[in-house]
Chain A
Amino acid sequence: MSGTDGLALATRGLRKNYGSRRALNGLDLSVPTGVVYGFLGPNGAGKTTTMRVLTGLVHSDGGTVELLGKPFKRGDRRRLFEVGALVESPTFYPFLSGRANLRELAAAGAPVPAGRIDELLDLMGLADRAGDKVQNYSMGMKQRLGIAGALLNDPKLLLLDEPANGLDPAGIVAMRDTLKTLAGLGKTVFISSHLLAEVQVMADVVGIIAAGKLVREGPLKELLSLEGVVRVRVRPSLVDAAIKTLAPLAKAEPLAETDRDEGWLSVHLAPDRAEDVNQMLAGAGIFASGLESSADLEMLFLDLTGGNGSPDGEGTFVGLTGPIDGQDGGTPAGKGAAA
């Protein structure tokens, strides 16, 4: 595969159909080695299908996959010996204890060194409950056990689907630290998640998928700086002059009046360039009464995906924005707005 040197995971032109529904439509992922990679996308965008293809659970209809620098084709199951995965929800034998479940999971696939199971039970804070049957575990405990299962063979590449599911805040922080530590050790962590805030604090690189295709990929800081916004407030009578002054900073469509009456302007700019905005305005004799900058993944995500999956995907939550006819609730967003 061309251009995949130094990548822990790469897909090129990955395609997958379920009947007439196209789940993946030429997906090109490039996951560098030793990073936490956040794989984002709306419901039905193809994230889970991608995870399934990467773990050999389903077979792609076209395109190529490289795992740890080597092609991963149908029948190349040994490539997964260096990969740990938690796909969708964690799965266990309910009648076995947590420890026994890990032991039986370790009997499949790559051999696991002695003592590894106890080490992971300690790491996941499950040592005290390791002898309890999994059917008595909470969702968070099952999730931690699932992550322990993914770490059994000390993988070089870790594929995790919604790893924060069911974890309490302390658990999320611990998981985040653990994954960052693993990345620091040179391992690659690939996380599929809906929790944008979580990905924003954890990921080094993100890939955003919509309708089965990659719509943006790159280092998180870089993407956020490109998608950042600096908001500045000037006297309303000076809005036009401010727009003219800031025009040189503008890119394609960077400047917008967000509230002329209040004098607010938004400039699409890296957040660390707020100072430049202030300086240019001051140079023109316009003094800002308010200045704020922000960059968040949610805005980028919604910009790129429109909040939708694929046209024939599973859809998404519409939400309520106003009163429902005859009730105090609301109308579905979008529909309500259009009406």
Chain B
Amino acid sequence: MRLFFSGIRKLIRRPATWVTFGLLVGLLVLIVVAVGATANSNLGGPGGSGRGTAAKELVTFPGAYDRMLTFITGLGGLFAMVYGAAIAGSEWSWGTLKSAVARGESRVRYMLVSFASISLMIGIGVVVAFGISIVAAIVGAHLAGVSTSGLGDTSTLSHLPERLLKGWFAVAEEAGLGFTIATLARSQLAGIGAGIAFYFGESFASIFLPDIVKYMPFSVANAALATGSGSGFSGGAATVSLPADQALVLVALWLVGSLLITALFSDRVEITG
């Protein structure tokens, strides 16, 4: 447990933690408030009134709960992947893994416990970001002149813990992917770069290969949370999605697979430099 708590302490003090979280929350608040503020402005041109309706829908409860969560798991998934890559990569770039191994620490345990710490931070981040996004959506609703009477919808609220749990799981899977890529690259920058390329590559490939891309990590993460209400925020998503239950199983497989590769690689690789 001391290794786990050490991982948490390091992450709390790490600037990357706060920068990643700040960027996600900042973008989210900015977009939601801006959408609310402009929902009633004169949207000229073809489809202008339709865009106004969509904008109001974004901040209308109880649907706003799902939309905010989709935003967090969509763009947040990319951020989580970069975050996971940054943490894993720095263990190699800074040589801190080397110091731990030279003290007799197990390589596999060290890497997996590091990921467990990241997962916990992500879980906390998802919940806090979700809370902030709901406040932003309420502000947006007021600015758009939309009623917030749906805020207390009991049916939606009763499913919220389960939805948040799935969201955490999906984002953790994406972070796990970044963590593994950076471990294989043994570099922070290479891990982040490859992760971003993977994210946009998957999004781009979904245009041509939707039947394959729907099984890919970002697509399954988005599909695991899909409710059918639709949203415009989930980046990296395939146009064709798997059913949520099936997607959840694939999320688990991607996560376990990533961590297995990390464990095997860490155990066998020679730590030099």
| A32-76 Cβ-contact flags toward B at 8 Å (1 or 0) | 000000000000000000001001111100000000000000000
Q: How far is the CA of A55 from the CA of B98 in the complex (A)?
A: 9
Are A153 and B271 in contact, with the CB atoms below 8 A? Answer: no
> Shortest Cβ distance from A88 into chain B, in angstroms?
8
- Does chain B have a CB within 8 A of A96? yes
Residue A323 interfacial (CB < 8 Å)? no
Does A237 interact with chain B (Cβ within 8 Å)? no
Task: Indicate if the CB atoms of B10 and A104 lie closer than 8 Å.
Answer: yes
Q: How far is the CB of A115 from chain B (nearest CB, A)?
A: 16
Nearest chain B CB to A18's CB is how many angstroms away? 9
Interface size class of A (residues with CB under 8 A): 35 or more
Q: Kindly state whether residue A339 has any CB partner on chain B within 8 Å.
A: no
Contact with B along A62-104 (1 / 0, CB 8 A): 0000000000000001111101010111111111100010011
Q: Are A149 and B99 in contact (CB under 8 A)?
A: yes
Q: Does A338 contact B (CB under 8 A)?
A: no
User: Which residues of A lie under 8 Å from residue B273 when comparing CB positions?
Assistant: 88
What residues of A have a CB within 8 angstroms of the CB of B98 in the complex?
Answer: 57, 87, 91
Known: A56-B101, A58-B271, A77-B105. A91 touches B10 (CB 8 A): no
Partner of A56, one of B9, B90, B99, B102: B102
CB distance from A230 to the nearest CB of B (A): 45
As a 0/1 sequence over residues 285 to 296 of chain A, the CB contacts with chain B under 8 angstroms (1 = contact) are 000000000000
Contact check, A110 vs B103: say whether CB atoms are below 8 A apart: yes
Flag whether A152 is at the interface (Cβ < 8 A).
yes
Give the chain A neighbours of B13 by CB distance below 8 A. 95-96, 100
Q: Are B270 and A58 in contact (CB under 8 A)?
A: yes
Contact B99 A59 (CB under 8 A): no
- Give A23 Cβ to nearest chain B Cβ, in Å: 11
Q: Say if the beta carbon of B51 comes within 8 Å of chain A.
A: no
Across-interface contacts of A105 in B (CB, < 8 A): 99-100, 103
Task: Indicate if the CB atoms of B10 and A108 lie closer than 8 Å.
Answer: no
User: Smallest Cβ distance from A228 to chain B, in angstroms?
Assistant: 38
Those of B181-221 within 8 Å (CB) of chain A: none
Of A79, A88, A92, A103, which one neighbours B104 at CB under 8 angstroms? A79
Q: Give the chain A neighbours of B270 by CB distance below 8 A.
A: 52, 57-59
A284 to B15, CA, bound (A): 81
Q: How far is the CB of B270 from chain A (nearest CB, A)?
A: 4
User: Which residues from A are CB-within-8-Å of B95?
Assistant: 88-89, 91
Inter-chain CA distance A82–B270, complex, in Å, is 22
- Could you say which residues of chain B place their CB within 8 Å of the CB of A92? 94, 96
* Shortest distance from the beta carbon of A316 to any chain B beta carbon, whole Å: 20
B94 near A80 (CB under 8 angstroms)?
no
A91 touches B105 (CB 8 A): no
Q: List 10 A-B contacts (CB under 8 A).
A: A52-B270, A57-B102, A58-B271, A91-B99, A103-B9, A105-B99, A107-B3, A108-B105, A108-B110, A152-B103
Nearest 5 interchain pairs by C-beta:
A109-B103, A91-B95, A80-B104, A107-B6, A108-B100
